[in-house]
Structure 1
């Protein structure tokens, strides 16, 4: 059965043949644009849909037809062609989980009111259907350490050690008193010099803060050029009236009817517009333009730590280099008085001084403080639906 709108198609075709030109009613793809390559998440059990805008149309509705790479046709919900530049959502009777990779087509067919020429436009799409990949992003905190090297210089220091040597010579004096000098053992005293060294130590203090933000809807910009004229002829009876219109468009256009040549021309056109990329970059380009995200990025629960050590200007410490100088004093000869009492005289106790160096280490602890913020993105269900009707998408959806 024909829709009531299709009763005016024949009149529209006659107007087209007589005037030699289409009406000014044109369509634009928003989420799926002609010549584009897109990723479809096969894990989603939602229906495939597309968003279109129209300009210069008089009234009525546009039928939407989805054609898969094998030529099977899916009649989608029709959409109004007025007012201008208003996004209209059409839903197709096929789930994303049922789709497969290849060249798909979207046809927009309409009467454009009872007194205007009908239109038939076509969007050629390359859809990559696959499973969404989850990529984990591990955030990194960088700790900056500054170390100060120590340069040690030596200062010569002389230790004078004095000692007294016994004199074994005896002097005999003609005296009644004998004198003998006794020298006690030398007494050694130790002088200790203390030096303080400072050692640097670092501790880390990391504060984790979690904040939540709402995801933003990304709507592709409206293309500069409207959809091209359709060259695919639908086989469903509902669209039989458009066959002659599409045939006229195919004859008046430069697009050949041979499917192989059509694909070659499509590829050349995409290359000229910078839309075709080598095979190794197909996945990246599909991800960049896809209504469905091929990769979902999530933050890791932990934060990686990396340390960067900076070297500050060196500081100089001075240490003593000890040199021992020994001075020996010989006692005077012993005096002996023959035949008389001997008097023992105790000489002053000789002293020796030794210098000892002692070091103490003081640890200076420096605490480094950092704050890392985890951002969690939430997407309200109502916002997803509104974004979809505008032809946009949220990251990860």
Structure 2
């Protein structure tokens, strides 16, 4: 290729045109650049990641996992063809060996000796034990109450007391005076109890379990392909990161991804610092979770359920009692006059029978005549995950839920 033709090609590539040649692109499925993901540290499963390729040659990609310390782990290779088929790479590190920090995946391939590729997928892992939230249902007991209206009617009885008459002698005629004494009325208190029949309401919820089969949820493919690698691996040779640009194919491969190219720090510490700085600068990325960070389960012990009461009011029951009040009056009889010069007999006293007044006091007692037990059903859904389906889902970069 002449210098003029090479210069024209490079100029076109720098303008962002990708139409001169079909490029080999890789896309992240479960883990994508600048993402923030949760990983279950209690899982013994191997760490895996899924990729999708487009426009690549008949070759395989060497996949390398880079930890926050810059150490490399060679994962299983993935084929570059066919296009748009998810390929899973398994790494020699289990999830319970991970720790929180900035991780990277390198995708290296000669691409069939056509245009070598070296791509990098940077992401942050939050590694910990998933939390479980217990949801306690609220059940309602429906209760009917009957109000009691107590009406007291008052009647008054007047009790009259007549005093002894005084006597005086005035004439010779003999008198035999008579005085009638009416004793004060006695009050007898009678207590009556009105019994109100009520219904007791109890609640005994019933938990019914329903099993739901977990389904596979596959994340949306990243809109942009993986950027060019900034980490030069030590486990494999990356032709695409070679500084030798004498070959036109190598130059084409590097400049075709020019929009993603970055200066590569030479020392390891600088590379780790750059990865951290890129993640912190990208603070608007929505968090996703290849592993479930929080699981909500429904409480199966119905004794712990929260109870609310819904009360409706029935027609009021009226109870009437009569209360008797006693009023007392005193009658003073006129003076009995006895004529002088005669003998006055002793005053004859006539005692009348004492009258009795009854005072009724009403009390209300409650007795339970029947008990109504409500047994509302609460459906608790339990998700069942088939092991074979889970493996197939992971191979597609998805998650069972």
Listed as ranges, the matches of 1:119-268 within 5 Å are: 119-130=117-128, 132-141=129-138, 143=140, 157-165=154-162, 167-168=164-165, 188=186, 190=188, 196=194, 202-236=201-235, 238-244=236-242, 249=254, 252=258, 253-258=260-265, 259=270, 262-263=274-275, 266-267=278-279
- Once residues 178 and 234 of structure 1 are traced to their aligned partners in structure 2, the CA distance between those partners, rounded to angstroms, is 146
SS in 2 for 1:325: strand
- Once residues 281 and 143 of structure 2 are traced to their aligned partners in structure 1, the CA distance between those partners, rounded to angstroms, is 58
Aligned length: 364
Say if 1:186 and 1:349, in contact at 8 Å, map to a contact too. Answer: no
Offset at residue 95 of structure 1 (A): 2.4
Structure 1 counterpart of 2:18: none
Offset at residue 308 of structure 1 (A): 5.5
The 1:18/1:245 distance shift into structure 2, 3 A limit, reads farther
Structure 1 counterpart of 2:390: 384
Structure 2 counterpart of 1:325: 327
Structure 2 counterpart of 1:354: 358
Say if 1:230 and 1:246, in contact at 8 Å, map to a contact too. Answer: no
Listed as ranges, the matches of 1:106-117 within 5 Å are: 106-113=105-112, 116-117=114-115
Structure 1 counterpart of 2:47: 48
The Cα offsets for residues 78-107 of structure 1, whole Å up to 9 and x where unpaired, read as 223333332221112222333333322212
Structure 2 counterpart of 1:9: none
- Once residues 296 and 223 of structure 1 are traced to their aligned partners in structure 2, the CA distance between those partners, rounded to angstroms, is 26
The Cα offsets for residues 311-358 of structure 1, whole Å up to 9 and x where unpaired, read as 989x8988877653224556899999x99xx9x997864523232222
Unaligned runs of 5+ in 2: 14-20, 246-250
Say if 2:33 and 2:123, in contact at 8 Å, map to a contact too. Answer: yes
The Cα offsets for residues 127-148 of structure 1, whole Å up to 9 and x where unpaired, read as 2334x14435151425578898
Structure 2 counterpart of 1:282: none
- Once residues 200 and 42 of structure 1 are traced to their aligned partners in structure 2, the CA distance between those partners, rounded to angstroms, is 55
Unaligned runs of 5+ in 1: 1-14, 276-284
Say if 2:161 and 2:328, in contact at 8 Å, map to a contact too. Answer: no
- Once residues 110 and 244 of structure 1 are traced to their aligned partners in structure 2, the CA distance between those partners, rounded to angstroms, is 13
Say if 2:214 and 2:385, in contact at 8 Å, map to a contact too. Answer: yes
- Once residues 246 and 326 of structure 1 are traced to their aligned partners in structure 2, the CA distance between those partners, rounded to angstroms, is 130
TM-score, with length taken from structure 2: 0.69
